[in-house]
Amino acid sequence: MYKCLVCETEFDSFMTFGKMPIANGFLTSEDFKNEFFYELEIGACPNCSMVQLVRQPEREMMFHEDYAFFSSTSEKQRVHFKTLSDEILDLINANDPFVVEIGCNDGIMLEHISKKQIRHLGIEPSTNVAEVAADKGVNTISEFFDYELAKKIKDEYGNASVISASNVMCHIPYLDSVVKGVKELIGDSGVFIFEDPYLIDILEKTSYDQIYDEHVFYFSITSLAKMFDKYDLEIFDVKRINVHGGSMRYYVAQKDTKHVSVDVEKMSEVEKYNEVDKLSTYQNLKTKIERSKEELNNIIRKIKTDGKRIVGYGATSKSTTITNFCGIGPDEIDFISDTTPIKQDKYSPGTHIPVKRYEEFKECYPDYALLFAWNHAEEIMAKEEEFTKAGGKWIMYVPNIEVIDDIL
């Protein structure tokens, strides 16, 4: 039995994925012998419906001076966060607004706020990505956000008009401290806007590769509304957004201070219909995950029997779950192509597939590309017409296992 991180109710896990390495722990061959592994296991709380990992590596093992994910590697994400910054700019009407971002990474969003000379602060514990943000003129501190830090920020800067947190709330197990910190910092009238991969999308697409060490929570309105209520906070709006394979953006304020949009109720109904509060939903998910693994392995086995070459496209965190869970290694995949310098010339966590520069893909096309960065399919397809024209095929595994000429 495990204890819910939110309400402390005891529950059993519904699935284990076996031993997993750090999802973003790209490593050199010298590091193989010391590689860290833990058991990746997930459950759903029967009381508050929060879907969560039952254990997570120490935060410093995941977020540090060599963090491998740089937000600005995707053009679509750059546009997405420019749009979010515009929305934030529209929202702030205070005299001297103050915008805080939790997990600002390389400054992909805050750089736009900074350019407008608006008071702001980015909180980013991974120092290498924080430095990139600082170089863009973003006011950054390298700390982990929690209640204590929120109080310090409030003492120094006053209340935040907006706190933004994209793809980071679901990374933090000490949610109680974070939510208390947010409540303290937004004061009476500030707004908290955050977005994370949405549980309904994960269920609909069987996108189980979202399950890895950094993602300790898999949020729904059902689980979040209950949690915020305890703090007298309220979700007053939601927006489904088409990034990271399907995400939800939540707008939160002090309870009874904002008009609650009909979309909150509508989407709660969708969740009820999808039975996010029933254990059978997760048992079904487990069955679908096992089927997906088997089908992907069958396709890969057949391609290799035919003597063809496969290259991975995008050394995503998500790919660590796929390769380790499905047992896909260098015998199946020649290398993974990725545009992020820090990942290149290293090996993938656990399975030790070489990660190479994008140019290596471009210069000698494989027969098949296994699209690990499936959430960026549109952007990738637009620039890979040549590969398709040359007869290259894409292996997709979300939402279904298929081999296609065109991604879209």
Which spans of this chain sit near Zn ion (rule: CB under 5 A)? 4, 6-7, 9, 45, 47-48, 50
Task: Spell 179-198 as b/e; 16+ CB within 10 A means b.
Answer: bbbbbebbeeebbbbbbbbb
| Region of residue 314 (left: phi > 0; alpha: psi -120 to 50; beta: else) | left
By beta-carbon proximity to Zn ion, the closer residue of 5 and 162 is 5
Tell me if 375 contacts ligand SAH by CB under 6 A. no
Q: Which of 167, 247, 254, 292 binds ligand SAH (CB under 6 A)?
A: 167
Q: Which of 42, 161, 338, 351 binds ligand DWN (CB under 6 A)?
A: 338
Determine how many CB atoms are found less than 10 A away from the CB of residue 101: 32
Compute the distance between CA of residue 1 and CA of residue 9 in angstroms, rounded to an integer.
Answer: 10
Q: Which of 124, 271, 334, 384 binds ligand SAH (CB under 6 A)?
A: 124
CA distances from 24 to 21, 203, 213, 291 (A): 9, 24, 9, 26
CB of 69 to ligand DWN, least distance (A): 4
CB of 347 to ligand SAH, least distance (A): 22
Q: Which of 110, 123, 202, 380 binds ligand SAH (CB under 6 A)?
A: 123
Compute the distance between CA of residue 37 and CA of residue 30 in angstroms, rounded to an integer.
Answer: 16
Compute the distance between CA of residue 250 and CA of residue 128 in angstroms, rounded to an integer.
Answer: 28
CB of 119 to ligand DWN, least distance (A): 26
CB of 247 to Zn ion, least distance (A): 22
Q: Could you say which of Zn ion, ligand DWN, ligand SAH, none residue 63 binds, taking C-beta under 5 to 8 angstroms by partner kind?
A: ligand SAH
Span 298-337, contacts to ligand DWN by CB under 6 A? 314-318
Contact 365, 342 (CB under 8 A): no
Q: Could you say which of ligand DWN, Zn ion, ligand SAH, none residue 4 binds, taking C-beta under 5 to 8 angstroms by partner kind?
A: Zn ion
Identity at 186, one-letter amino acid code: I
Q: Which of 11, 14, 26, 69 binds ligand SAH (CB under 6 A)?
A: 69
Tell me if 236 contacts ligand SAH by CB under 6 A. no
Contact 289, 208 (CB under 8 A): yes
Helix axes 221-229, 175-186, angle to 10 degrees: 70
Compute the distance between CA of residue 40 and CA of residue 186 in angstroms, rounded to an integer.
Answer: 35
Q: Which of 11, 26, 67, 347 binds ligand SAH (CB under 6 A)?
A: 67
By beta-carbon proximity to ligand DWN, the closer residue of 69 and 335 is 69
CB of 160 to ligand SAH, least distance (A): 14
Determine how many CB atoms are found less than 10 A away from the CB of residue 159: 17
CA distances from 351 to 35, 149, 213 (A): 11, 38, 16
Q: Could you say which of Zn ion, ligand DWN, ligand SAH, none residue 145 binds, taking C-beta under 5 to 8 angstroms by partner kind?
A: ligand SAH
Tell me if 24 contacts ligand SAH by CB under 6 A. no
User: Which of 96, 94, 71 lies closest to 84 in space, CA to CA?
Assistant: 71
SS3 349: coil
Tell me if 379 contacts ligand DWN by CB under 6 A. yes
Compute the distance between CA of residue 372 and CA of residue 316 in angstroms, rounded to an integer.
Answer: 6
Using the rule CB under 6 A, give the single segment among 119-127, 216-224, 229-237, 324-332 that binds ligand SAH: 119-127
Which residues here bind ligand SAH, judged by CB under 6 A? 63, 67, 69, 71, 102-103, 105, 108, 123-126, 129, 144-145, 166-168, 171-172
Which residues here bind ligand DWN, judged by CB under 6 A? 69, 73-74, 167, 214, 244, 314-318, 338-340, 358, 373, 375-376, 379-380
